[in-house]
Amino acid sequence: MQISAVSKEINEWSGSVLIAGVLEGTIESQTNLFKTLIKDDFLSKRFNDEKFEGKKSQKFSIELIEGEIKKVIFVGLGKAETLQINDLRKAAAIGARQVSGYGRKLGIFFPWDAFEPSSAACAVGEAVRLSSIKDLRFKSESKKPTSLDEVELIGLDTNTTKSDIAEINPICDGVKFARELVSAPPNVLTPYQMAKEAEKLANDFDLDLKILDKKECEDQGMGAYLAVAKGSDLKPYFIHLKYSPKTVKNKVVLIGKGLTFDSGGYNLKVGASQIEKMKYDMGGSAAVLGTARVIAELKPSYTEVHFIVAACENMINGSALHPGDIIKASNGKTIEVNNTDAEGRLTLADALVYACKLKPDAIVDLATLTGACVIALGDEIAGLWTDNDQLSEQLTKAAGKAGEGIWRMPMQDSYKSGIKSSIADLQNTGPRPGGSITAALFLKEFVNSSIPWAHIDIAGTCWTEKDRDINPKGATGYGVRTLVNWIKELNLNAN
């Protein structure tokens, strides 16, 4: 999909389909604006018939018989005084879903003047591309949907937006890759296959790759990670990708939880736990690998980025982790396992210890970690835990720019008593109240206090059961754009 800005008036543009954003209270001016395409009286009548006032998310379309433009899709943006960039993003996604079958060239005409041009262009371009992605890999017969070849953002200056628009497709390719990883069934995306996907990334995009097998993980003392993996007949793979620019001024580590399937172990997921959806328990690793793809293509100049995934399954066999077992992580801390379904934090514990040995300037982990976070924040907002105010501000800003919901949560030290064990250093779960906080406090035990660290719980945001803005039903690819924005900003500050 070629996305570009065109410095044209609306009456100069030609293409197949046009999406027009309408501000509430501007129906009369919009009627005058489009009278070269649609008869004035006809458009006014249609606005009235459809009771279209330009309110947020309102939409209706008109098919044209004459001329090159076959369809005009009007989408409401709400009132001008409350207009936000997310409104443009949402309107673009709503309009893009009405385009199929009407040609291969789309024009978008929005009130761009309210925003910084590059930011608006990227938000809208990403929305169109991401809302149109369909994963048909596992259908035996499927008619390939007509794809858009060109998207033109009408009325935007080409020169000031060109470089930012050029990044839209690489970023969306990374999100698409993450979505496909999450959507893949667990008999396809095994720990071995995830390692192969990392190997392909390394080969295609010139990244350094190290994969530790079970023996090498044992040599590093990764007793927490390996304890989870031993319940599966499939071998674990500890994946470490690295992007290295010529000049390094920052070094960061991204860690993604990589449970390719989570049965819950002997604390088997039952009832409303949606065990059939537990292929998405590697949503954090998908975000990290998707980010690796983007960073490798964009090639930031000053930031070295490490991408780490401790991939395995959480299953039940004669060797599986028991409730009540005591295991030892690679930093020497012992853990009483009081719930085998709190396995993600065990794999992350050893990944965090490994990351600290790289001596980075910051570590960020993403994980579908707790149902408690979903209860607290729902399915549109991820939870953010960190003691570092600067890192919190950076990640919140990066998520805001991406239109990905995030909210800083408390690191309540007094709750640490909930994960104390009488016979080991820690237990892997605390009491039910504040469960997402005690999970973050557990992870904190495996991070050097001198290294800024943030934990992002994406249990609610990595999957959606409904079409939501730019995310069709299914895997969302949440986190890729937030992480990319964060790394790009670090790079600018290092310049």
Alpha helices, H only, 220-269: 223-229
Can you give the C-alpha Rg of the chain in angstroms? 24
**Residue 443, φ and ψ in degrees, nearest 5:** -60, -35
Confidence band for 46, pLDDT divided at 50, 70 and 90 = confident
**142 pLDDT above the threshold of 70:** no
**336 pLDDT above the threshold of 70:** yes
pLDDT, the chain, mean: 94
**174 pLDDT above the threshold of 80:** yes
Does the global pTM surpass 0.85? yes
Q: What does the pLDDT average to over 360-380? A: 97
**374 pLDDT above the threshold of 90:** yes
pLDDT at 172: 97
**308 pLDDT above the threshold of 90:** yes
Q: What does the pLDDT average to over 179-197? A: 98
Return all residues near 179 (Cβ < 8 A) that are at least 6 apart. 133, 135, 286, 474, 475, 476, 477
Q: What does the pLDDT average to over 182-198? A: 98
Query: What span, in angstroms and rounded, lies between the C-alpha atoms of 130 and 134?
Result: 9
Task: Name the token pair of 166.
Answer: 């050029």
Orientation angle between helical segments 191-205 and 283-298, nearest 10 degrees: 10
**40 pLDDT above the threshold of 80:** no
Higher pLDDT, 141 or 411: 411
Active site residue 345: yes
Query: What span, in angstroms and rounded, lies between the C-alpha atoms of 20 and 61?
Result: 10
Active site residue 269: yes
* Lowest model confidence (mean pLDDT) among 54-63, 208-217, 326-335: 54-63
Q: What does the pLDDT average to over 76-101? A: 92
Q: Which of 345, 401, 444, 481 is catalytic?
A: 345
pLDDT at 470: 87
Give the 3-state secondary structure of residue 445.
coil
pLDDT at 69: 87
Q: What does the pLDDT average to over 407-434? A: 97
pLDDT at 192: 98
pLDDT at 35: 77
Measured in whole angstroms, the distance separating CA 337 from the mean position of its chain's CA atoms is 30
* Lowest model confidence (mean pLDDT) among 60-69, 73-82, 267-276, 377-386: 60-69
* Lowest model confidence (mean pLDDT) among 102-116, 211-225, 318-332, 447-461: 102-116
173 burial type by CB count under 10 A (0-12 exposed, 13-18 middle, 19+ buried)? middle
pLDDT at 36: 73
Contact 152, 121 (CB under 8 A): no
Q: What does the pLDDT average to over 269-287? A: 93
Confidence band for 79, pLDDT divided at 50, 70 and 90 = very high
Give the 3-state secondary structure of residue 394.
helix
Give the 3-state secondary structure of residue 181.
helix
**Domains in the chain, please, with CATH?**
2-158 (3.40.220.10), 169-494 (3.40.630.10)
Q: What does the pLDDT average to over 235-249? A: 97
pLDDT at 12: 84
Query: What span, in angstroms and rounded, lies between the C-alpha atoms of 168 and 157?
Result: 16
Q: What does the pLDDT average to over 162-179? A: 97
Q: Which of 269, 328, 333, 468 is catalytic?
A: 269
**145 pLDDT above the threshold of 70:** no
Query: What span, in angstroms and rounded, lies between the C-alpha atoms of 50 and 53?
Result: 9
Q: Which helix (H) or strand (E) holds 130?
A: helix 117-131
Q: Tell me the percentage of the chain whose pLDDT exceeds 90.
A: 80
Query: What span, in angstroms and rounded, lies between the C-alpha atoms of 11 and 385?
Result: 50
Query: What span, in angstroms and rounded, lies between the C-alpha atoms of 279 and 314?
Result: 11
Query: What span, in angstroms and rounded, lies between the C-alpha atoms of 480 and 487?
Result: 11
pLDDT at 82: 95
* Lowest model confidence (mean pLDDT) among 106-110, 144-148, 236-240: 144-148
pLDDT at 146: 64
Count other C-beta atoms under 10 Å from residue 133's C-beta: 17
pLDDT at 273: 81
pLDDT at 9: 84
Q: Which helix (H) or strand (E) holds 2?
A: strand 2-6
Confidence band for 199, pLDDT divided at 50, 70 and 90 = very high
Return all residues near 285 (Cβ < 8 A) that are at least 6 apart. 181, 194, 239, 256, 257, 258, 309, 311
pLDDT at 438: 98
Q: Which helix (H) or strand (E) holds 218?
A: helix 214-219
pLDDT tens per residue, range 3-31: 999 988 888 888 899 999 999 988 888 88
Alpha helices, H only, 274-416: 283-298, 344-356, 371-377, 389-402
pLDDT at 144: 67
